[in-house]
Structure 1
Amino acid sequence: MLGACSNGLSSSGTDKGGKETITFINHKTDWTGNGKWKEYTKEFNQKYPNINVKVETITDYAGQMKIRMNSKDYGDVFMLPDTVKPQDFKNFVEPLGKQAELEKKYMALSNKSYNGTTYGIPIAVNTTGILVNMKVFKDAGINEFPKTPEEFVTALNTIKKKNPDVTPLYTNYASNWAMANWDFVRTGASGDADITNKMTTDKEPFAKGKTMNTIYKVLFDAVKNGDTEADPSTTDWEQSKQDLADGKIGAMVLGSWAIEQVQALAKNPDDIQFVAFPMTAEDGNQYAAIGPDYNIAINVHSQHKKAAREFLDWFINDSNYYKDTGAISAVKGKDYPAALNSMKEAGVKFIEANPAPKGKESLFSDINNEAEIGLDTTDATKQRIVDAAKGNTKESFNHIMDDLNKKWGNAVKNVTGK
């Protein structure tokens, strides 16, 4: 689904009055409908009156952009999908500057930097965990959110028994993007800032007792117990937000960027809370990793790079995007949103994943692509787990984990030669 709004011309170009029009492609379809993007372009024009911004939004953003980026037609400014390999950034994206210099002002740049050059800046910094309607939990007699996988799975089952009309955990199986959040929680769930780097040498990261196995087992058990939606293939992302707000859904594994969207739909916004994934690290603490949302970038083929850079800089430095989405600003020194302060009060510690060692920036991506597991990038493996738990396939959980270990182990060997 596409949406668009603009404050002038219909496509990138320059009019007779010398005004340039740039196209900004992004994933925030809800802001097309509620008029938020029109507010932003109007604010931008107060500072840059000679630049028109055509905003184009896409629902299946990562999937559609992967197709569009086979051509040069993917806007002037866009959100850089994770499907682009770091070593390929230069083929698609205009460099923004040296990472070391930009890191003096911005955080979380390592994700879209390569060989010391930064190609994208996070539109916001989020944490990944679980977005919950705590009223659903409290109505089932669960007053404190669980801190272990076992407690969480039990709580979901308790909710279902107390109120069969409620879906305790919603997977968003059919969205083709949301289930990647089950991968994103690994740094916080483990409390290990180096877990992703360690996976580049670990040939069995999905073995029993390891973080990824534990995370995926929560998903499998919840589905197996009947505590997720009846038909995963018919899930609806937009409707799920309203259902969570209304107490028809108890929890969804998501990024903190979704807090504001669901709270805006709720009769009592305080019912909607964001919590850490229910795992406790070896040191006894609960952690939530902070990391970049989409990174805003400039098309290397753009004919309007100066105007595109002015919009990008305004968006990161001057707009209220992080406040409007309940996120953390990528600009260092700005306040955390109230929703995440509540996590701090609950004793949750925030950590940021360590960047890959110099010269190995693409190693994880290379192994992941070689393994064809889609960790962080696709929903395929998570959907496979749901299908098995539903009984739609004959695979067992252990069989899937063994297969993932085999694929990952072979990929590590093929890519590193070790």
Structure 2
Amino acid sequence: MARKHAASALAVMTALTLTACSTGDDGGSGEGGLSGTITVLTNRTDIVETTLRDYVTEFQKTYPDIDVEFEAITDYEGDVSIRLNSQDYGDVLLVPNSVTKDQLPQFFEPLDTVDALSATYRFIDEQAYEGQVYGIATFGTANGYVLNKKVWAEAGITEPPTTPQAFLDALEAVGEKTDATPYYTNYADGWPLSQWQNNQGSFAGAEAVQIRDAQEAPWSDGNEQYALDSLLFDVVAGGLSEADPTTTNWEESKNLLASGDVATMVLGSWAVPQIQAATETVGGAPEDISIWPMPWKTDDAFQSRVGGDYKLGISKHSDNKAAARAWLDWFVTESTFAVDEGGISPVVGAESPDTLKDFDTFGVQQIELTPSPAGQESLDSDIYNEAEIDLFGDQYRRALIDVARGAGSGDRLSFFEDLNSRWDSARIANDG
């Protein structure tokens, strides 16, 4: 695939690289006199010895005296979140989702102000606090569900369902008319369940977070949180997912969707190229794999929340912050990572990726969430942490699935009542 980066960003990023983060061992050679070794933490165990090394080769054409070493971590969220308690977490790393905005200054180096970087980058508000940016997206992703269109077509569905009931009906048709499992939860690995939450805004719009934070009972009919979690509950309760969720496997799920043994998974657009690649070994065709919007419309249009994927940040304890900044800037503006991943470039003005062609076909509106007001950057996480509801984790949705499949006590009503009670108490405690 051709590179699709905004050329104008290069001059801006070169200037930033040479002026920002001047502390550390700058050495005496290479562009801007930068040299030394940096360690980059990554969750991409699958490409650490291939694609990522190729990027380093290109990087060193500009910075020949900076050596880049990767540390690939399988349980990235769990392991790195623990390592943040030490000073040993590399020089450049993906900001773990467990880090709340008010914690960013404790662990990461400020990169510049929101105002200064907003002309060059998208999604910068997502890892910013008190006007300072601490992480820049590796790429952007659109959210919805990834599907095998060939399987759906065999079931008679060639356009995205427009209501939750229509979505459930479509999955039932898949189950009745094909040999595929209609939906795959990825319950065992857990982290894919957080992909449901990434669809916030698809129902409530750009101010979805502020709307939820003001609600006494988000898990009530008519609210976005209810819509998201009720749909997952109904899929499982209706017998439309795998028979035993405790045996699911993320890597295998990509093969199952690619081959047509599974029809649907709620994931971001980042997953499309990975599953398309799997068709080469398990059968099927790359064009069978696409992403469609969640099954509801606003003003007669589908909406997909578009946001940054993992953000690259620089450790506050790095001994070579200038070299670390050089890698960060080069990676997000000059590498082909965003394009290779089928993602949306974080650089303002870049072209839309091929993975979103169906969004264009069906007129899906891409929306970015409205940043929280100053002084309330961490309100949302303060509420859900106080309530012990891991909106972006896996525990409460695992519990929801257990209730839906009859392996947990209670029912939908009691489960949601408990969530609402805990949420409202936490909201009041945080002056919501």
TM-score between both structures, scaled by the size of structure 2: 0.90
For residue 258 of structure 1, what is the aligned residue in structure 2?
271
For residue 288 of structure 2, what is the aligned residue in structure 1?
271
**Paired amino acid for 1:175:** D
Secondary structure of 2:90 counterpart? coil
Q: Which segment is superposed worse, 260-269 or 405-414? A: 260-269
Deviation, 1:59, is 2.2
Structure-2 separation of matches of 1:209 and 1:198? 12
Structure-2 separation of matches of 1:73 and 1:14? 20
Match of 1:322 among 327, 333, 338: 338
Structure-2 separation of matches of 1:298 and 1:274? 32
Higher relative contact order (CA 8 A, sep 6+): 2
Secondary structure of 2:160 counterpart? coil
Instruction: Kindly provide the CA deviation profile for residues 112-149 of structure 1, in whole angstroms up to 9, marking residues without a partner as x.
Output: 00000000001111111101001111112222231211
For residue 216 of structure 1, what is the aligned residue in structure 2?
229
Asked whether 1:363 is paired with 2:379, we answer yes
Structure-2 separation of matches of 1:308 and 1:143? 47
Instruction: Kindly provide the CA deviation profile for residues 259-318 of structure 1, in whole angstroms up to 9, marking residues without a partner as x.
Output: 11111122311100111011122x221100111100000010111111100000000111
Deviation, 1:189, is 2.9
Match of 2:187 among 158, 173, 181: 173
For residue 226 of structure 1, what is the aligned residue in structure 2?
239
Asked whether 1:342 is paired with 2:358, we answer yes
**Paired amino acid for 1:352:** E
Instruction: Kindly provide the CA deviation profile for residues 9-64 of structure 1, in whole angstroms up to 9, marking residues without a partner as x.
Output: xxx9999x99521111111122126x111111111111111111111222221111
Equivalenced residues, count: 401
Match of 2:297 among 280, 294, 310: 280
Identical columns (%): 38
For residue 4 of structure 2, what is the aligned residue in structure 1?
none
**Paired amino acid for 2:226:** N
Unaligned 5+ segments in structure 2 are 1-23
**Paired amino acid for 1:341:** K
Q: State whether residues 403 and 409 of structure 2, in contact with CA within 8 Å, keep that contact through their aligned partners in structure 1.
A: yes
Q: State whether residues 13 and 22 of structure 1, in contact with CA within 8 Å, keep that contact through their aligned partners in structure 2.
A: no
Match of 1:202 among 200, 211, 215: 215
Q: State whether residues 92 and 299 of structure 1, in contact with CA within 8 Å, keep that contact through their aligned partners in structure 2.
A: yes
Structure-1 separation of matches of 2:158 and 2:328? 43
Asked whether 1:235 is paired with 2:235, we answer no
Unaligned 5+ segments in structure 1 are 1-11
* Residues 14 and 175 of structure 1: CA distance in aligned 2, closer, same or farther (over 3 Å): farther
**Paired amino acid for 2:268:** G
Deviation, 1:224, is 1.1
**Paired amino acid for 1:180:** S
For residue 147 of structure 1, what is the aligned residue in structure 2?
162
Structure-2 separation of matches of 1:39 and 1:404? 47
Q: State whether residues 107 and 330 of structure 1, in contact with CA within 8 Å, keep that contact through their aligned partners in structure 2.
A: yes
How large is the Cα RMSD of the aligned pairs?
1.8
Structure-1 separation of matches of 2:82 and 2:190? 15
**Paired amino acid for 1:313:** D
Secondary structure of 1:54 counterpart? strand
Instruction: Kindly provide the CA deviation profile for residues 206-251 of structure 1, in whole angstroms up to 9, marking residues without a partner as x.
Output: 1122111121111111111211111111211111111111101101
Deviation, 1:337, is 0.4
For residue 297 of structure 1, what is the aligned residue in structure 2?
313
Structure-2 separation of matches of 1:95 and 1:125? 21
Instruction: Kindly provide the CA deviation profile for residues 130-173 of structure 1, in whole angstroms up to 9, marking residues without a partner as x.
Output: 0100111111222223121101111111211223x421111111
Asked whether 1:390 is paired with 2:390, we answer no
Structure-2 separation of matches of 1:127 and 1:145? 15
Instruction: Kindly provide the CA deviation profile for residues 338-382 of structure 1, in whole angstroms up to 9, marking residues without a partner as x.
Output: 221330221111111100011111111111111111112x11111
**Paired amino acid for 1:28:** R
Structure-1 separation of matches of 2:385 and 2:137? 23
For residue 333 of structure 1, what is the aligned residue in structure 2?
349
**Paired amino acid for 2:192:** A
Deviation, 1:176, is 2.4
**Paired amino acid for 2:124:** L
**Paired amino acid for 2:191:** W
Asked whether 1:122 is paired with 2:137, we answer yes
